[in-house]
Amino acid sequence: MHEFSAALSIVETAVQAAKENNVSKVKAVNVEVGEFTFLVPEQLEFNFEIASRNSVVEGAKLQITKKKGALKCDDCGFEGESQVDTDIPSQIAVFSPMKCPKCKGSSTEIIGGKEFIITNILAEVTPA
Amino acid sequence: MSEKTVSIDIKKDLFGANEEAASKNAEVFKKHGIVAIDIMGSVGTGKTQLIEALCERLSEKYPILMIAGDLATRIDADRVGSHGVDTVQINTGTACHLDARMIRVAIDDTDISKYKVVFIENVGNLICPAGYSLGVGKKVVVVSVTEGPYMIRKHPLTIKRSDMVVINKIDLAEVLDFDVDALERDIREVDANLPVFKVSSKIGTGLDKLIEYLGL
């Protein structure tokens, strides 16, 4: 479970930005989390609440945008977003996001969806 | 004084610091011609035993450094150290994985130029280590026949993000009525091209092929 250290990295970055911009209160923090990271949005939110305590970020809303994964297929040449095939039995559905949406093969390489980015914060600033 | 709400752009990659440290580690390994291998797997898959078996076969040929990651103790480092290789134990406290900065510290603490092979045994955990680059040449996932038949299905992303899989303890497959081929089929479902090695670290089955593939 590494969401706490991930949440801390969000808070530290947001606190730094707040300091540099004369922020009195951070209202929201926007992050992007890729489908092929090992980060669970719900756990990230919970840990963010704890990690932000007693900082200028405390009480801010963590807004997570999930980014779709992207694949490149060595068999058919497909390059693009991964897809979950809803027709696949649940027993093997776990494999489907990593399979080629076009030819259904598994000669795929992950080319997107590994990101974890803090994009911006919404904050109240005191005019100088 | 009136306050107003504004958007402050940051656009920072939060994995960036680790990726940067990983690239620096990779540079150090490359500079000294070191083959560095990150060995991941759940608790009890036989990661340490695999490293011991590899060290037994390679320690005469190459100077080896083993870096062991565990929450506590230096049991693994001591075990591997008994095969005549140098070891560094990293105790992560509560952290579930090694990251590139920990490896950086371990590299800085040793005379890394002395070594030709570095085995890094990651914290026993099949999830988190896969998300953190260390700067190694190969990320190896070790699974074994004693964890039950669904290890691959339950951890497809870890498998997908690795460079090769070792199925360990195959000497026990028969007595446990374990279908190794079915496990390999699951790996193929995740990735058609991932190299798979069926190994018994204990009796030595499959190790020569693995060593050859690692270029050692």
Q: Is A79 a residue whose pLDDT tops 60?
A: yes
Neighbour order of strands in the sheet with B196-198: B86-91, B64-70, B117-121, B35-40, B138-144, B164-168, B196-198
The Cα–Cα gap between B168 and B201 comes to 7
DSSP state of A59: T
Contact list, A108 vs chain B (CB under 8 Å): 191
For B91, residues 6+ apart whose C-beta sits below 8 A from its C-beta are B70, B71, B72, B73, B74
Q: How confident is the model at residue A90 (pLDDT cuts 50, 70, 90)?
A: low
Chain A contact present for B184, CB below 8 A: no
Mean pLDDT of chain A: 90
- Could you tell me the domains of chain A? 3-68+113-125 (3.30.2320.50), 70-111 (no CATH)
Report which of A69, A68, A78 is spatially closest to residue A107, judged by C-alpha positions: A78
Mutate to test the interface with B, among A15, A88, A98, A109 (most CBs of B within 10 A): A98
What is the token pair recorded at B163?
Answer: 């460079």
Q: Are B82 and B59 spatial neighbours (Cβ–Cβ below 8 Å)?
A: no
ipTM: 0.86
For B13, residues 6+ apart whose C-beta sits below 8 A from its C-beta are A115, A116, A117, B19
**Entry pTM:** 0.90
Chain B closest-CA separation from residue A105 CA (Å):
8
What is the token pair recorded at A23?
Answer: 């922020």
Helix axes A3-20 and A41-51, enclosed angle (nearest 10): 50
Highest mean pLDDT among A58-72, A78-92, B146-160 belongs to A58-72
Contact list, B188 vs chain A (CB under 8 Å): 106
The Cα–Cα gap between B80 and B69 comes to 13
Q: Which of residues 40-79 of A touch B (CB under 8 A)?
A: 74-75
pLDDT at A93: 56
User: DSSP for B147-168?
Assistant: G-TTHHHH-HHHHHTSSEEEEE
pLDDT at B192: 95
Q: pLDDT digit of tens for each residue in chain B (216 aa)? A: 567 899 999 999 999 989 999 999 999 999 999 999 999 999 999 999 999 999 999 999 999 999 999 888 889 999 999 999 999 999 888 788 899 999 999 999 999 999 999 999 999 888 888 888 999 999 999 999 999 999 998 889 999 999 999 999 999 999 999 999 999 999 999 999 999 999 999 999 999 999 999 999
Backbone angles phi, psi at A65, to 5 degrees: -100, 120
Give bridge partners of residue A80 from the DSSP assignment.
A71
The Cα–Cα gap between B38 and A105 comes to 27
pLDDT at B131: 86
Q: How confident is the model at residue A92 (pLDDT cuts 50, 70, 90)?
A: low
Chain A contact present for B190, CB below 8 A: yes
pLDDT at A4: 87
Chain A closest-CA separation from residue B154 CA (Å):
8
Task: Please say whether the dihedral angle defined by the alpha carbons of residues B77, B19, B160 and A89, taken in this order, is positive or negative.
Answer: positive
- Could you tell me the domains of chain B? 16-213 (3.40.50.300)
What is the token pair recorded at A37?
Answer: 């990271």
